Structure 1
Amino acid sequence: MHTLKKLYCRCFQISFRAALPLMPYREPKLIDGFSGVSKVLRKHNITRLLLVTDPGVYSLGLTTPLEQILKKAGITCIVYKDTVANPTSANVEDAKNLYLKKHCQALLAFGGGSSMDCAKGVGARLARPNKSLAKMEGILHVMHKLPLLIAVPTTAGTGSETTLAAVITDADTHHKYAINDFSLIPHYAVLEPEVTVGLPAQLTATTGMDALTHAIEAYIGHSTTKQTRKAAIEAIQLIFQYLPVAYKNGKNRTARKEMLRASYLAGTAFTKSYVGYVHAVAHSLGGQYGIPHGLANSVLLPIVLEAYGSAAHKKLAHLARITKLSSSPDDTTAANAFIAHIRKMNASMNIPTTLAGIRDEDIPKLARYADKEANPLYPVPILWDDKQLALMYHLVQENKEKENNSHAETGHRDYTGISA
């Protein structure tokens, strides 16, 4: 990255960090179980709401208990169930139109990050009816109060129930972008482990690694606070302990409960301290190819951490020591032990080392998208431009699998030019 651009990015990040105490961050209030939802709605004099979910969650009947509770309480629940993975601007418009047609007064997101992002997008469009989603890309372009928003996560990974971000894919261009605004933080969240019990093992794995990515990227960046560091560390400890258990035995309710807590904590950490290049690259891959976000993060995480090199070693070493993965006083040795543990976790849960479908001709465009998303906002350990980011796509291409596997044990890949 050119020196002037680096200077601009770091100055922007320093200013943003200095302003953190003055910004209206808030955490969602936690509702105790589904029965508490109707009480909250009555408190706010709400009698009609739009429940935003996806076909998979709806077909499993996960929303049924809540719908029945609301019906008993005399609250009309309109369901929008067509949210796709990597929700599109078309999803948001369809759900928004249903909200208006049925005269709804509040939003309830029920599902993974896709459903929550869709519901947040609906809220943004309702708050700013004359502004397109594309015009809200970036930071603080909503700036209006949303209808009451309740989030019920069915995966322990995205942390969307705590965050100010909504990630939307343009239905026409397939460009995936983030909308960041304090008004998008849900007002309430329900952490109900019962709805995660039936989550398939592979989805448990990739969403859990998504939460781990949130916590690690929040911790190693330059905009941490005492609160976000504490939340990130606790989330990492919980994920290392309980994700393997939840993967092997999805009916273990203790593991499910603790993973929901870990996801929530990681969400509170990265809401203030932001993420890094893992997310920027993953978002572009999701937008272009529909690669699930958790899967992309899982595969990219150890590769990007390794590519950061010495810029991230001190903080990764601290995480290695606090999680008892290394007692080495040498930061490089301890950091490498931490990264090796992530690779070991991925392998134990059958997460691949590469991603299918990435085309060489797409990489320059994808790298530009990642550069635009991440710089100057993300306070990463070391700054990369689009040319340096392009290497990350090559390292996770499926046709590189043999090469990647040969380096999986040693961790010695060719990062020539990445740290320049």
Structure 2
Amino acid sequence: MTKFLRTLLQRSYLALIAIPFKLMPSLAYMAFTGRGSTAQLCSHMVRQGFKRVLIVSDKPLVDLGIVARAVDVLTEEGVVCTIYDGILPDPTFAMVDEGLALQAQHNCDAVLAIGGGSSIDCAKTIVSAATNGRNARKLVGYFKVKQAPLALFVLPTTSGTGSEATIAAVISDQHSHEKCFIADPKMLPKAVALDADLLLGMPAGITAATGMDALTHAIETYISLWGTETSNAYGYASVKMIFEYLPRAYREGSDAVAREQMALAAYYSGMAINDAGVGNVHAIAHQLGRQYGTPHGLANALVMPAVLRFMAVAAQAPLARLGRLIEVAAEGDTDQHAAEKFIDAVADLNRRLGIPEQLDSLREEDIPAIAEAAVKEGAGYPVAILMSKKECQAILNTLLASPQGAAALA
């Protein structure tokens, strides 16, 4: 099939699936911000009348006392809390089922997610399945959450996924490791708290990877075919904030101002995804996560410079605007040069944050299959230009920790 025909089919498909997204009502809910907003969110839950809350989190956050900050407030107000701390990176349907069993056993009437994207995505799926047949696998796809979910509230403890603001969740099949998408506006939380106190002291490596995840969302939504005035405003602001505050948060984990600004930036880029979707960076990163267990934010960061160079012509104007926004390009620069300077700035930010240029686990013999899966996934996103399998393989070759990778980077 020629690239022209593939593009024509992709644009027709995108036009069709865009219809329900365009008809969605405005996605708005309550957000508490600032240090100490955890208590505000918990008090809000109490005022809403919830009596039995399932906490969805991970064991490290329980051990660090992060979960207790919310549980203590809720318990003092007479709320019975049940903690499910079995969440691991790339949550599976088995984890969803475990959470559902606890919710049913304790008759929980609301769920509070405390953690990163894995905990939030799992919680979104639990509240949706709880009122829709209790079979999460049947929710895979778009707009399959027919009945209103249980009330969901969110305390993000990383600044990257934006899952606290999106209408989607990603759950993995524990056997095939396939990442399954569930998307429905009913999955949005009732309220969130962006509390910088929960982010202080986050390790530098996690700060870097999650921050670059947020940057990926901001850039991909800004260059998306589905970009709207609203999503572009969110993406534009997020790019500016991340370039300014992510290096600060990386250097000094206790910088409360930088942490708060990064929490807002991740939230903004998550809001942008609801309108504009993601793109080719995610299409490749998801395969690296499935194949090698590469953390999602790190996978996005590794792939992004090469993908943006591949898209530099098709997305030249918006990339040029971003180059001028972060002041690596001057107003007098041509769009081509401004776009190139922005892409170079993304690669430089990776280096400043200690993100490697190659993926040690990537095997050359795996590249054709990874590329084939990434091209298939990317064709379902509102990207300005489709990847061919050969083009995707060339991008992946830049990640090889070998002479081939060095040559591709040259």
What is the DSSP-based 3-state SS (H/G/I as helix, E as strand, rest coil) of the residue aligned with 2:402? helix
**Residue 7 (structure 2) aligns with:** 6
What is the DSSP-based 3-state SS (H/G/I as helix, E as strand, rest coil) of the residue aligned with 2:165? coil
Deviations 1:34-59 (A, max 9, x none): 22233322333211111111122222
- Report whether the alignment pairs 1:200 with 2:203: yes
What is the DSSP-based 3-state SS (H/G/I as helix, E as strand, rest coil) of the residue aligned with 1:152? strand
Matches of 2:395 and 2:29 in 1, distance apart?
35
The amino acid across from 1:24 in the alignment is: P
Residue 325 of structure 1 contacts residue 338 of structure 1 at CA under 8 Å; is this kept in 2? Answer: yes
Deviations 1:194-235 (A, max 9, x none): 000021011111111100000000000111111111111100
Matches of 1:228 and 1:153 in 2, distance apart?
21
**Residue 125 (structure 2) aligns with:** 121
- 2:38 corresponds, among 18, 25, 34, to 34
Gaps (5+ residues) in structure 1? 408-420
Q: Mean Cα displacement is larger for which, 216-225 or 366-375? A: 366-375
**Residue 22 (structure 1) aligns with:** 23
Matches of 2:252 and 2:96 in 1, distance apart?
35
Q: Mean Cα displacement is larger for which, 351-360 or 48-57? A: 351-360
Residue 107 of structure 1 contacts residue 123 of structure 1 at CA under 8 Å; is this kept in 2? Answer: yes
**Residue 260 (structure 2) aligns with:** 257
Matches of 2:309 and 2:346 in 1, distance apart?
11
State the 1:405 CA deviation. Answer: 8.6
- 1:284 corresponds, among 278, 284, 287, to 287
- 2:84 corresponds, among 80, 83, 94, to 80
What is the DSSP-based 3-state SS (H/G/I as helix, E as strand, rest coil) of the residue aligned with 2:87? coil
**Residue 306 (structure 1) aligns with:** 309
Q: Mean Cα displacement is larger for which, 54-63 or 2-11? A: 2-11
Residue 312 of structure 2 contacts residue 340 of structure 2 at CA under 8 Å; is this kept in 1? Answer: no
What is the DSSP-based 3-state SS (H/G/I as helix, E as strand, rest coil) of the residue aligned with 2:147? coil
Matches of 2:197 and 2:134 in 1, distance apart?
40
State the 1:382 CA deviation. Answer: 0.1
Gaps (5+ residues) in structure 2? none
Q: Mean Cα displacement is larger for which, 123-132 or 146-155? A: 123-132
What is the DSSP-based 3-state SS (H/G/I as helix, E as strand, rest coil) of the residue aligned with 1:63? helix
Cα 1:176–1:244, aligned 2, differ >3 Å: closer, same or farther? same
The amino acid across from 2:212 in the alignment is: M
The amino acid across from 2:353 in the alignment is: M
- 2:392 corresponds, among 379, 389, 402, to 389
Residue 172 of structure 2 contacts residue 179 of structure 2 at CA under 8 Å; is this kept in 1? Answer: yes
Matches of 2:110 and 2:336 in 1, distance apart?
50
* TM-score, normalised by the number of residues in structure 2: 0.93
The amino acid across from 1:311 in the alignment is: A
**Residue 412 (structure 1) aligns with:** none
**Residue 102 (structure 2) aligns with:** 98
The amino acid across from 1:23 in the alignment is: M
Deviations 1:240-267 (A, max 9, x none): 1101111111111000010001011111
- Report whether the alignment pairs 1:173 with 2:176: yes
The amino acid across from 1:341 in the alignment is: A
**Residue 350 (structure 2) aligns with:** 346
The amino acid across from 2:383 in the alignment is: V
Residue 28 of structure 1 contacts residue 161 of structure 1 at CA under 8 Å; is this kept in 2? Answer: no
Matches of 1:106 and 1:286 in 2, distance apart?
31
**Residue 51 (structure 1) aligns with:** 55
Matches of 1:102 and 1:398 in 2, distance apart?
50
What is the DSSP-based 3-state SS (H/G/I as helix, E as strand, rest coil) of the residue aligned with 1:31? strand
Residue 124 of structure 1 contacts residue 142 of structure 1 at CA under 8 Å; is this kept in 2? Answer: yes
Matches of 2:43 and 2:60 in 1, distance apart?
27
Matches of 1:126 and 1:187 in 2, distance apart?
16
Residue 28 of structure 1 contacts residue 162 of structure 1 at CA under 8 Å; is this kept in 2? Answer: no
The amino acid across from 2:340 in the alignment is: N
- Report whether the alignment pairs 1:62 with 2:62: no
CA RMSD of aligned residues (A): 2.0
The amino acid across from 1:374 in the alignment is: G
Deviations 1:85-131 (A, max 9, x none): 11111111111111111111111110111111111121232132254
Residue 398 of structure 2 contacts residue 405 of structure 2 at CA under 8 Å; is this kept in 1? Answer: no
Residue 245 of structure 2 contacts residue 258 of structure 2 at CA under 8 Å; is this kept in 1? Answer: yes
Matches of 2:202 and 2:403 in 1, distance apart?
30
Matches of 1:179 and 1:394 in 2, distance apart?
31
**Residue 375 (structure 1) aligns with:** 379
Matches of 2:301 and 2:345 in 1, distance apart?
13
- Report whether the alignment pairs 1:246 with 2:238: no
State the 1:401 CA deviation. Answer: 7.7
Residue 353 of structure 1 contacts residue 405 of structure 1 at CA under 8 Å; is this kept in 2? Answer: no
Matches of 1:399 and 1:81 in 2, distance apart?
40
What is the DSSP-based 3-state SS (H/G/I as helix, E as strand, rest coil) of the residue aligned with 1:242? helix
Identity in percent:
36
**Residue 154 (structure 1) aligns with:** 157
Correspondence 1:408-419 to 2 at 5 A = none
